[in-house]
Amino acid sequence: MRLESVRELKQAIVSDPYWLAARSDEGAHMAIGVALGTSPDEHKVAVRARSENDIDQKLLDRIRAQAGGEVDLRYTGPLEVLPVTDSMPSRRLSIGASAAHYGTASGTLGFFARRNADGAIGIVSNNHVLAAQNRGLDADEILHPAPADSGRSPNDVIAHLCGNYPRLRPEGQTVDCAFAGLVSGLAFDPLALGPAETLKTTIATAEKQLLVEKIGRTTGRTRGIITTIDLDFFDVDYRCGRVSFSGQIEIESLDATAFCRSGDSGSLVFTRDYEPVGLLFLSARAGGPGNSGRGYANPIGEVLTALDVSFAS
């Protein structure tokens, strides 16, 4: 039967007083619709019931007669409403996504990590991204996208800050990092860097001039080269005060395009072989090819140790 013919027939059946009477009878629990065939004109009248006991035989015979036998009868078994799940962002989280503490404008999700103490899964970025430069408290909300990208509570909460993050202190600092536990049920790709590109969980040590890349919230995926290691900084100005760092990594762009810009904080720096090497946290506005500036990263081994986490896989 043609689709329109079946639809017209269905309308006639449900308007038939016999159908209405049978529907009001507690013994009949039948549904009617259009059954699709394998060709354009192969439609039938669909009749569904939970079991044979739910069929009104006279009504079924009447429908068969009206449809010239073109009836598709099936028993469905018990029907139940699907359980409602908590509303969650439907997008899959991945490395390089926009994410930040609710009190911070913007930042980047560096990588997914598993806390060694209890196996909790979370995300790692900078202290000044996830913990608002030492102001963050345990269980503070982390948003994706970040507030500057219109992320708002409660719909965009993806994680909660772990309160024992390394504080930024005036001296002896090696990392600017924090960990936040992911909200359960969130979809994420722990090691995906792009189509058919997977981050390795073995880390690279920057003792030679490595070619590297990063994926950041502001500048996306960029390429660079490590030009300096063991870099000790004196007096980096944060809102929480001046901080001195030791043992840092410097990265220059390979061309006049900036390796990083504001909002790329917390980006994971990885080698061309996809081995993690650093966590981006700082930039210099001058220097580099075309005076495009430079980026600076914490050695990734220091970050993993400070947070007592491993790469999630």
Partner 1 sequence: MSVATLEEARAAKAVLRARLLGRLPGLRGLGIAFVDGGYGVRVLVDRRPADGAIPDDVDGVPVIVDVVGELTPL
Complex with partner 1: residue 88 or 236, whichever CB lies closer: 236
> Coil, strand or helix: which one is 196?
coil
116 binds partner 1 (CB under 8 A): no
Among 56, 281, 303, 306, binds partner 1 (CB under 8 A): 281
Please state the closest distance from residue 206 (CB atom) to partner 1, in A. Answer: 10
Please state the closest distance from residue 277 (CB atom) to partner 1, in A. Answer: 14
Please state the closest distance from residue 265 (CB atom) to partner 1, in A. Answer: 4
The dihedrals phi and psi of 96, each to the nearest 5 degrees, come to 95, 0
213 binds partner 1 (CB under 8 A): no
Window of 80-88, 136-144, 155-163, 255-263 that interacts with partner 1 by CB under 8 A? 255-263
Q: Which residue do the tokens 């700082």 mark?
A: 282
Binding mask 167-206 for partner 1 (x = CB under 8 A): ---------x------------------------------
Given phi > 0 = left and psi -120 to 50 = alpha, else beta, which region is 139? left
Task: Say what the alpha-carbon torsion angle 13, 15, 21, 25 is, to the nearest 10 degrees.
Answer: 70
Q: Is 272 exposed, middle or buried (0-12, 13-18, 19+ CB in 10 A)?
A: exposed
Complex with partner 1: residue 129 or 203, whichever CB lies closer: 129
222: nearest Cα among 237, 212, 209: 212
Question: Residues 15 to 54: which contact partner 1 by CB under 8 A?
Answer: none
Binding footprint of partner 1, residue count (CB under 8 A):
39
148 binds partner 1 (CB under 8 A): no
Cis peptide leading into 289, omega within 30 of 0? no
